[in-house]
Amino acid sequence: MEGSEPKQSFFDRLRDATGVVVEKTREGIEDLQTRQSLSRAYNDLGRKTVELVEKGEITHPELSAAVEEIKALKAEIAAAGQSEEAPASQSE
| 92 pLDDT above the threshold of 50 | no
| SS3 track for 21-45 | HHHHHHHHHHHHHHHHHHHHHHHHH
User: Region 12-24: what's the mean pLDDT?
Assistant: 92
Tens of pLDDT, residues 48-82:
999 999 999 999 999 999 999 999 999 999 999 88
Q: Model pTM greater than 0.85?
A: no
Spatial contact of 44 and 52, defined as CB atoms under 8 Å apart = no
